[in-house]
Amino acid sequence: MGDARAASETAGDTGAPVILGNEPGSFARGVLAERHPALIRQVREAFPYGPRQHGALDALLNEITHGVVEPLDAAAPDHGIWQAWGREHFGRSWFDAPFLWAESYFYRRLLAAIEYFDEGPWQGVDPFAPFKRAELSGSAVDDELRSLDRLADAPAGERASALLHASLWGNRADLGFRVAADEPLGDADPGLVADDSALLWSLLPVGAPSTVAVVADNAGRELIPDLILIDHLLEQGHAERAVLHVKPCPYYVSDATTTDVIDSLRRLVRAPGAAGGIGRRLWEAMGAGRLEVRTHVFFCAPLPYEEMPEDLRKELGGGALTILKGDLNYRRLVGDRLWDATTPFADRTAYFPGSVAALRTLKSDVVVGLEPQTLSALEASGGAWRTSGTHALIQTKGSGATASPRGA
């Protein structure tokens, strides 16, 4: 796969290296060494924090760049669980820990630095809220919502495909909704490296009294098309009920929380045209129990979904389909390792309790389920296709499936 981007560390007998951040020039190292320090500075400048928070942020910046991983304060409400999750990594360089774990723990430590969980005036104040609100209030959202008026008269199949792709691409404004351009809605998306959308729709037949779960990724311009897709599923009878799972606290900068769902719904409700109608239907669906927002502490855990607790496993296994959105959910679904990219998606998700679909824009090294000819063409392109966000996939595994249809 080109330059070596993995560590030698492996677990079990998978044979696929766990991704660490200690490989010079790797995507993971860039996140830890450049993106995280920049984020600390952005959060510091976005709020009028006091000397105590400034000191904690400065200490975290020094630790992640020059020090070793330190445990949470003993008084932290989740100190015990993070001690268990991090016992192998405390006292080591941040770059030597598994990338998934280091990223997750960084955001937990960032919340500790700004006193998000502490009693006091900063308790519960989302450090990423200014970034989320700026995106949600931008003119680009107006343009995307207006495009729904054109979509309203499209044939049902084309409308379903367009909304699925809008949810897939999220905040890629140039591809969002695919209805602002003159191209036919049914055209194949050249950015897709795998497309199991036909299997996805077959798992949600019209008229079945089913529940669909959507595990959200980002807020703002990605959450809005997720909500619009949910409205389509409910309105067209693909699902009788929908459950939207969000993070229990701010995480990975833009990840959606309940507050972000409410903000997005309000943005839809006050929009003119078709978008406003969708917002009102969703608002009513919440009141009627047809749409429910839930969360679970595991959504902020530094662990793969293979290790999900039994209560979450039972809940997700009870529906017709679980749709996992975004890159982080994909990494947790298949495992944050350098798999052979042709490893069948169904093999990596066989443990999942029920049918599952991944809608993911590629923004990290992990990928499975590609056809050999697709992989060869991508590698020959010479581009950073795994991490640039220019490619995406829709991968689906039916309940009890032993193989997943793959396409490009």
pLDDT in tens, 105-143: 999 999 999 999 999 999 999 999 999 999 999 888 998
Whose CA is closest to 78, among 300, 256, 309?
Answer: 300
Pairs from 204-210 (Cβ < 8 Å, separation ≥ 24): 204/233, 204/238, 204/239, 204/320, 204/321, 205/238, 206/236, 206/237, 206/238, 207/237, 208/238, 208/239, 208/240, 208/320, 209/240, 210/238, 210/239, 210/240, 210/241, 210/319, 210/320, 210/321
Beta strand residue intervals within 44-186, DSSP E: none
Q: Give the Cα separation of 326 and 360 in Å (integer).
A: 4
Quote the pLDDT of residue 171.
59
Q: What is the dihedral of CA 263, 268, 271, 272, to 10 degrees?
A: -170
Quote the pLDDT of residue 14.
66
Using the predicted structure, report yes or no on whether residue 402 has a pLDDT greater than 60: no
| pLDDT classification of 403: cutoffs 50, 70, 90 | very low
> Is the whole-model pTM more than 0.95?
no
Pairs from 41-45 (Cβ < 8 Å, separation ≥ 24): 42/131, 43/110, 43/114, 43/127, 43/128
Mean pLDDT value across the chain: 90
The pLDDT tens digits of the residues spanning 309-361 come to 999 999 999 999 999 999 999 999 999 999 999 999 999 999 999 999 999 99
Give me the mean pLDDT over the 246-273 stretch: 96
277 burial level (CB within 10 Å; 0-12, 13-18, 19+): middle
Whose CA is closest to 291, among 330, 253, 245?
Answer: 245
Q: Give the Cα separation of 96 and 89 in Å (integer).
A: 8
Sign of CA dihedral 361, 364, 369, 370: positive
8 A C-beta contact, residue 375 and residue 406: no
Q: Give the Cα separation of 244 and 240 in Å (integer).
A: 14
Give the rounded percent of residues in the chain with a pLDDT score beyond 70: 90
Quote the pLDDT of residue 177.
41
Give me the mean pLDDT over the 24-38 stretch: 96
Q: Give the Cα separation of 304 and 332 in Å (integer).
A: 4
Quote the pLDDT of residue 188.
62
The pLDDT tens digits of the residues spanning 189-240 come to 779 999 999 999 999 999 999 999 999 999 999 999 999 999 999 999 999 9
Q: Give the Cα separation of 19 and 359 in Å (integer).
A: 22
Q: Give the Cα separation of 361 and 393 in Å (integer).
A: 7
Using the predicted structure, report yes or no on whether residue 176 has a pLDDT greater than 60: no
57 burial level (CB within 10 Å; 0-12, 13-18, 19+): buried
- b vs e for 222-260, b when ≥16 Cβ sit within 10 Å of the residue's Cβ? bbbbbbbbbbbbbeeebbebbbbbbbebbbbbbbbbeeb
Q: Which domains does the chain have, with CATH numbers?
A: 27-127 (1.20.930), 133-397 (3.40.50.10880)
